[in-house]
Amino acid sequence: MADRDEMLQIDLCDGQVRVMLCETTKTVQRCADIHGSTPVCTAALGRLITGTLMLGIMMKGEDESVTVSLKGDGPMGTIVAVADHGHVRACADDPRVVLPLREDGKLDVGGAVGHQGRMSVIKDLGLKKNYIGQSELVSGEIAMDFANYFTVSEQQPSLVALGVLVTEETVLKAGGLLIQPMPGCPDEVIDQLELRSPMFADISREMTFAPIEQLCEDWFRGMNPRILEKTPLDYRCTCSRNRMEKALISLGRKDLNSLIQEDGQAELVCHFCHNCYRFTREELIELMNSAGATGGKE
């Protein structure tokens, strides 16, 4: 068993196909521990985390990140993941939704997320302009929604499999696969991939039998799979006291003043990691004064 989560970037058929294959078991477990999520919500968050990490791996710059939010009509509300080149964090409006299993015995992820709504992808490219892509949810099962996003918003036909195998409290396996034929890829190669696609469908279960490097060998035998890069993955939040101070300052003098008058203190809890930041009355007054000095909005 791999001692760390990892993303493999692979090419097939001498670069005619780009593949990403990853294990995210520990990352998803960490997310489940933080949020105390129910199995169906762990599965939804885990699939979103895994898909977002694939987009995150494409971001190379230090200040670059990608935010994927799914705003469906299901009981989980909006779920959000933010990733950079190997790190991810996520949250949901309600991570404790309980739903009966589907008729086929699987977790009803689509029911928890909702079958209708929007998926949005915001790429923060540091100093450069942000890129925003939006698409309708196709199923709320998330893998198909990512595939649809790539096809519609990035004009890149893609096969996506995302899976989380979870018991009441433990994530047994989680991972994902993204297959993207490059422009000019021959039809025979695409046909081969489609023929093999049932092998990838239940990816988290497949991962209980073999590590991902072995799966790569097995699934793409005869297509010359080459692992180009391996990147460690983990759950990491970027919140800090400094950021929370900035958020408080951005409230402006008036709101800060009423916070001081009414509560006499503030407690800010990070949505992504549940770290709690406490501010005393004196600290809030200091922040209010600097809000004035930096011209925070009135």
Which parts of this chain interact with Zn ion (CB under 5 A)? 237, 239, 270, 272-273, 275
CB of 87 to Zn ion, least distance (A): 12
| CA distance to 68, 252, 262, 295, per residue, from 279 (Å) | 31, 16, 14, 21
Two tokens, residue 268: 């800010």
Nearest distance, CB of residue 182 and Zn ion, angstroms: 37
- The beta-strand segments (E) located in the chain are 5-12, 17-23, 64-72, 78-83, 87-92, 117-125, 131-136, 159-166, 171-181, 226-235, 266-269, 276-279
Residue 43 or 239: which CB sits closer to Zn ion? 239
Q: How far is the CB of 274 from Zn ion (least distance, A)?
A: 7
Q: Is the four-CA dihedral 9, 11, 12, 17 of positive or negative sign?
A: positive
Angstrom distance (rounded) from CA 101 to CA 50 = 22
Nearest CB to Zn ion, comparing residues 13 and 81: 81
CB nearer to Zn ion: pick between 170 and 238: 238
3-state secondary structure of 196: helix
Q: How remote is the C-alpha of 262 from its chain's centroid?
A: 37
- Our CB check for Zn ion shows the closer of 19 and 239 to be 239
For Zn ion, the closer of residues 205 and 243 by Cβ is: 243
Considering beta carbons, is residue 134 or 238 the nearer one to Zn ion? 238
Distance in Å, CB of 133 to Zn ion, minimum: 25
Phi, psi values for residue 185, rounded to 5°: -65, 125
To Zn ion, the closest distance from the beta carbon of 88 in angstroms equals 12
Q: Shortest gap between Cβ of 92 and Zn ion (angstroms)? A: 15
Burial class (CB in 10 A: 0-12, 13-18, 19+), 199: middle
Helix or strand run (H / E) with residue 243: helix 241-249
